[in-house]
Structure 1
Amino acid sequence: MTPAPTPPVVLVTGAARRLGREIALALAAGGWQVAVHYRSSEADAIKTVADCDRLSGASAAFEADLTDESAVRGLLPRVIAHFGRVDAVVNNASTFEHDSAASFGFASMDRHVRSNTGAAILLAQALHEHVTARGGAGAVAEHAGRCAVINLLDQKLWNQNPDFFSYTLSKAALEAAGTMLALALAPAVRVVGVAPGLTLTSHLLSDEQFEARHKLSPLGRSSTSADVAATVKFALENNSITGTTLLVDGGQHLMKFERDFSLM
């Protein structure tokens, strides 16, 4: 009797709350074992793990500060030690702090680039090393496309405005890195970007403001958490997609916004 295949393992950064949690739950429902990364939201991470366990039967939480290079380098080995393997990384966690061209400084840029760009690149690097080491060249060729890195980007990159200057720079750098990594890590690991539009509200928006701005798109609605999570799952499981970005925003990137949604 042929043994059942081992369920694939995915690390989702920033998975304790909000969009990361929805991605983790969607992947767990699809049969993935989920490593739930968090920085400080331990209670939320434990709840996400419990909810994932009810769907897939296997998940665990892992704390790490993604601005700390040594912590980032140690994260994937900890996940591998727990699950025995890792097949994918979803770089969802983001620092999102307001600055402008006038208030820009090295400190803000450093925080955003470390967490939003550098950490994602290091985790992609670590996944590639793990995948190539565990199977050898023959196994990598046989299973080409099955392992992937998904980078969460932003429709803002295709519809730029001057708000959240350092955040936008860090996401633009990550989008460029995705192209280079797709070339550098093939055929062992695919790299795909997913760029949502306005998806979740924040303390900067009232419910009425969020609803009005969510409708500002050619389709009359932007992305929902379910839309983004489904796209991440699709990108992970379609073995032919690499080196590109899937925009999931109701077409918001086709419209010109002079300010960020939160400041309109």
Structure 2
Amino acid sequence: MSAGRPVALVTGASRGIGRSAALALARHGYDVAVNYATGRERAEQVVREAGKAGARALAVQADVADEDAVRGMLGAVEHGFGRLDALVNNAGTTIGTPPSDLDGLSLADWDRVFAVNVRGLFQVTRAAVPLLRRAPGAAIVNTASIVGLRPGPQPFPYAASKAAVVSLTRTLAGALGPDIRVNAVAPGWMVGEWMEDQLGDNYERLMDRRARLTPLRRCVTADDVAATVVSLITSNPFVTGEIVVVDGGFSATT
């Protein structure tokens, strides 16, 4: 039981933003539940790294689109830690069909993206609320995207799902206040495997171009986003319903 240390659940925490957020929270004094869907070995590595930072950590498998699995995950968090102070809704997925290929977009792919990115976020939040309401200063941070706020070259279901995350964040902030604050981060083009998968052979060229057009002269990293996640959880007691863009100023100046 985590009698003294606060506890955070981070979904999609085996890699990318989720991994960085889980480890940043561990370094900030949180015990962490590391959710994963399929990457068990990666999740266990995050657990070990969190342990080195002084945290108790637990890997919990659940597909956030599966409501029974989500309920089981929150049960495991309550059993393992006895409390929940923060939730990071980071689990997400996308597809490879570009927005130029309307006829090539499978509606099954559309439904899967929304099941994970939107319904999954809602299901995890709803299941977590009873535990979060017991915690003083509880906070939720959702992972949106810059393409949820402005057009971008991302597949239609991904962009639309992130716009839905923006709307859900603001709506949940109203519904869950004053007990629970709800905010979101909206990263821009991020260094790492997610954008490598999206850009393929053009990754280095396009990322370099984006960096040159960014006031801070580089693209965002997962650690940059994690720092903002931790800040929203720990350092902004009167901020809720906000979408914080993390892109080095690119979208504000282009």
- TM-score, normalised relative to structure 1: 0.85
Map 1:89-100 onto structure 2 (within 5 A).
89-99=87-97, 100=99
Q: Tell me the equivalent position of 1:225.
A: 222
Displacement of 1:116 in angstroms is: 0.6
| 2:48 aligned partner, one-letter code | A
1:129 aligns with 2:142: no
1:46 aligns with 2:37: no
- Choose which of 185, 191, 194 in structure 1 pairs with 2:182: 191
**DSSP 3-state at the match of 1:214:** helix
Displacement of 1:17 in angstroms is: 1.4
**DSSP 3-state at the match of 2:130:** helix
Displacement of 1:5 in angstroms is: 6.9
- Choose which of 133, 137, 145 in structure 2 pairs with 1:154: 145
1:175 aligns with 2:166: yes
Distance 1:97 1:152, change over 3 A: same
Displacement of 1:208 in angstroms is: 4.6
Which string of whole-angstrom CA distances, capped at 9 and with x for unpartnered residues, describes residues 198-227 of structure 1? Answer: 112324244454333333323322322221
- What is the alpha-carbon distance in structure 2 between the residues aligned to residue 41 and residue 52 of structure 1? 17
Displacement of 1:252 in angstroms is: 2.3
- What is the alpha-carbon distance in structure 1 between the residues aligned to residue 94 and residue 4 of structure 2? 36
Q: Tell me the equivalent position of 1:62.
A: 60
- What is the alpha-carbon distance in structure 2 between the residues aligned to residue 206 and residue 87 of structure 1? 38
How many percent of aligned residue pairs carry the same amino acid? 36
- What is the alpha-carbon distance in structure 1 between the residues aligned to residue 94 and residue 191 of structure 2? 13
- What is the alpha-carbon distance in structure 1 between the residues aligned to residue 182 and residue 73 of structure 2? 19
Displacement of 1:174 in angstroms is: 1.2
Alpha-carbon RMSD: 2.0
- What is the alpha-carbon distance in structure 2 between the residues aligned to residue 163 and residue 23 of structure 1? 24
- What is the alpha-carbon distance in structure 2 between the residues aligned to residue 42 and residue 86 of structure 1? 22
| 1:119 aligned partner, one-letter code | G
**DSSP 3-state at the match of 1:56:** coil
Distance 1:246 1:206, change over 3 A: closer
Q: Tell me the equivalent position of 1:240.
A: 238
1:107 aligns with 2:103: no
Map 1:136-147 onto structure 2 (within 5 A).
143=136, 146-147=137-138
Displacement of 1:24 in angstroms is: 1.0
Displacement of 1:187 in angstroms is: 1.4
Displacement of 1:80 in angstroms is: 1.2
| 1:17 aligned partner, one-letter code | R
**DSSP 3-state at the match of 1:31:** coil
Once the two structures are overlaid, the 10-residue window that deviates more, 162-171 or 235-244, is 162-171
**DSSP 3-state at the match of 1:43:** helix
- What is the alpha-carbon distance in structure 1 between the residues aligned to residue 132 and residue 25 of structure 2? 20
| 1:43 aligned partner, one-letter code | E
| 2:74 aligned partner, one-letter code | L
- What is the alpha-carbon distance in structure 1 between the residues aligned to residue 3 and residue 56 of structure 2? 15
Q: Tell me the equivalent position of 2:13.
A: 15
Once the two structures are overlaid, the 10-residue window that deviates more, 213-222 or 37-46, is 213-222
- Choose which of 33, 36, 40 in structure 1 pairs with 2:31: 33
Once the two structures are overlaid, the 10-residue window that deviates more, 221-230 or 244-253, is 221-230
| 2:6 aligned partner, one-letter code | P
Q: Tell me the equivalent position of 1:261.
A: none
